[in-house]
Amino acid sequence: MLLFLPLSMSCGPGDAEVAAEACETQSAGWDGWGRGFFTTWCGACHSATTADRRGAPVGSNFDSWDEVWAQRARIEERVLVDESMPLGGGLSEADRAELKALLACDDDAASDPGDESVIPPASLDAAGVAARADRVVAGGIPFASAWFDGFVDILMAHADPTCPEGANAPPYAIRAAIEGCVTADGWMFSGLTLRETTAEGTGVREVVVGDGWGRDPEGRSLVFGGELEWWGDGTGADALWESRIDGTWGYEGAPGWQGEMPSLSFAAAGAAAEATLDGGIAFVGAVVYFDALRLDAAVCPGSIAGGGLRVRDDAGYWTTLTFDEDCSACGAATFADGSSIGTVCVDPAPLWASLVGYDP
Amino acid sequence: MTAWVLLAGALGCPDPAKIEAPAEAAVPEVLSPLPDARLARRLSLDLRGVLPSLAELDSLEAGQVDTSTLRDSYLDDPRFEERFVQLLGQAWRTQVDEFLVRYVEYPELAGDEANEYPFERAVGEEPLRLAARVAAEDLPWATIVTGDWSMANEVTGHLWPVDYPADATGWQKVHYTDGRPSAGILATNGLWWRYFSTVSNYNRGRVAAIARLLLCEDYLSREVSVAGGSSVADAADIEDHLRGNPYCLGCHSSIDPIATALFGFWPANEYSIEEIERYHPEREPLGPILLDVAPSWFGTPFTSLADLGPLIEEDPRFATCAAETMASLLWRREATLEDGAELADVRAAWMAEPRMKAVMRAVTDGAKYRAGGFTAAASAPDLERERVVRQLDAPLLASVLDDLTGFSWSWEGFDQLRSDTWGFRVLGGGVDGLYETRSLDVPSLTWLLVVQRAAESAAAAAVDAELLGGGDRRAFVAVTLDDVPGDEAFTDELVALHRRLYGSRPEPSWTAEVEALWSASAAEADAAEAWRTTLAALLQDPLFVSY
Q: How far apart are CA B219 and CA B205, in angstroms?
A: 10
pLDDT in tens, B68-125: 999 999 999 999 999 999 999 999 999 999 998 899 888 889 889 999 999 999 999 9
Of B85, B91, B90, the residue nearest B122 (C-alpha): B85
Q: With CB atoms and an 8 Å threshold, state whether B284 touches A318.
A: yes
- The residue among A7, A78, A112, A117 with the most chain B CBs within 10 A of its CB, best to mutate, is A117
Residue B323, number of CB atoms within 10 A of its CB: 28
Higher pLDDT: B239 or B132? It is: B132
pTM, entire model: 0.87
Q: With CB atoms and an 8 Å threshold, state whether B251 touches A63.
A: no
Residues 6+ apart with CB under 8 A from B456: B532, B536
Q: What mean pLDDT is reported for chain A?
A: 84
Judging contacts by C-beta atoms under 8 Å, the chain B residues touching residue A318 are: 284-285, 303-304
pLDDT in tens, B461-496: 999 999 999 999 999 999 999 999 999 999 999 999
At A262, phi and psi to the nearest 5?
-75, 160
Q: How far apart are CA A287 and CA A270, in angstroms?
A: 23
Question: What confidence tier does B18 reach under pLDDT thresholds 50, 70, 90?
Answer: very low
Judging contacts by C-beta atoms under 8 Å, the chain A residues touching residue B305 are: 316
User: Which string of DSSP letters, residue by residue, matches A239-263?
Assistant: -EEEEEEEEEEEETTSSHHHHT--E
At B121, phi and psi to the nearest 5?
-75, -35
Higher pLDDT: A23 or A168? It is: A168
How far are the Cα atoms of B220, B407, B537 from residue A39, in angstroms, in the given order?
17, 50, 55
Q: With CB atoms and an 8 Å threshold, state whether A49 touches B311.
A: no
Contact B201/B208 with Cβ under 8 angstroms? no
Question: What confidence tier does A41 reach under pLDDT thresholds 50, 70, 90?
Answer: confident
Of B138, B119, B124, the residue nearest B80 (C-alpha): B138
Residues 6+ apart with CB under 8 A from B438: B90, B431
* Secondary structure, 3-state, B225-237: CCCCCCCCCCHHH
Residue B100 near chain A (CB below 8 Å): no
Compute the nearest-CA separation of A40 from chain B (Å): 7
Q: What value does the mean pLDDT take over residues A118-135?
A: 93
Facing A51 at nearest CB: one of B110, B249, B294: B294
User: Which string of DSSP letters, residue by residue, matches B387-446?
Assistant: -SS-B--HHHHHHHHHHHH----EETTEETTT-SSSS-TTTTT---SSS--S---S--HH
**In this predicted structure, what is the pLDDT of residue A13?**
34
From first CA to last CA, the distance across chain A in angstroms is 57
- Which positions 162-181 of B are in contact with A (Cβ < 8 Å)? 178-181
Amino acid identity, position B222: R
pLDDT in tens, B223-275: 766 655 555 566 667 777 777 776 777 788 889 999 999 999 999 988 888 89
**In this predicted structure, what is the pLDDT of residue A239?**
87
Contact A288/A280 with Cβ under 8 angstroms? yes
Contact B377/B397 with Cβ under 8 angstroms? no
pLDDT in tens, A250-264: 899 988 788 888 999
pLDDT in tens, A175-210: 877 778 899 999 988 888 888 999 998 999 999 999
Compute the nearest-CA separation of B297 from chain A (Å): 8
Q: Where are the domains of chain A?
A: 17-103, 126-355
* Secondary structure, 3-state, A312-333: ECCCCCEEEEEECCCCCCEEEE
- Which positions 124-153 of A are in contact with B (Cβ < 8 Å)? none
Question: CB contacts < 8 Å between A and B, how many?
Answer: 255
Residue B339 near chain A (CB below 8 Å): yes
Facing B344 at nearest CB: one of A5, A114, A265: A5
Dihedral sign (CA B195, B200, B203, B207): negative
Judging contacts by C-beta atoms under 8 Å, the chain A residues touching residue B321 are: 1
Question: What confidence tier does B413 reach under pLDDT thresholds 50, 70, 90?
Answer: very high
Residue B246 near chain A (CB below 8 Å): yes
Judging contacts by C-beta atoms under 8 Å, the chain B residues touching residue A124 are: none
ipTM: 0.84
Query: pLDDT at residue B312 above 80?
Result: yes
Q: How far apart are CA B344 and CA B341, in angstroms?
A: 5
Q: With CB atoms and an 8 Å threshold, state whether B179 touches A282.
A: yes
Higher pLDDT: A113 or B259? It is: B259
At B305, phi and psi to the nearest 5?
-55, -30
Q: Where are the domains of chain B?
A: 3-77+316-385, 81-314, 394-545
Q: How far apart are CA B143 and CA A226, in angstroms?
A: 34
DSSP structural state of residue B224? -
